[in-house]
Amino acid sequence: MVSFRELVRRLVADGVVERMTHQRVSQLSRDDPAFPPVVQIGRSKAVDYRVARPYFAGRKSRQGQRTDLRPPTAE
């Protein structure tokens, strides 16, 4: 189990992501139902690196994409 800060450090060191912040990891953990299980340890949140690494490796990066400007879907 690693904290979100350590997770980011390892992902960057392993070349899985070019850069990322622990705040973004926290946001993904809240918003993405496919995010690996999170464990609360004191005031920190932790995740199993062996599960998180494949999640981030398979995740498509959409940096700078505005999600609020999507065209309306045809119903």
pLDDT band for position 52 (50/70/90)?
very high
pLDDT, residue 23, reads 93
Residue 59: pLDDT over 90: no
The partner residues of 66 in beta bridges, in order of sequence, read none
pLDDT, residue 46, reads 96
Of 2-11, 44-53, 57-66, the range with the lowest mean pLDDT is 57-66
Per DSSP, the three-state class of 27 is helix
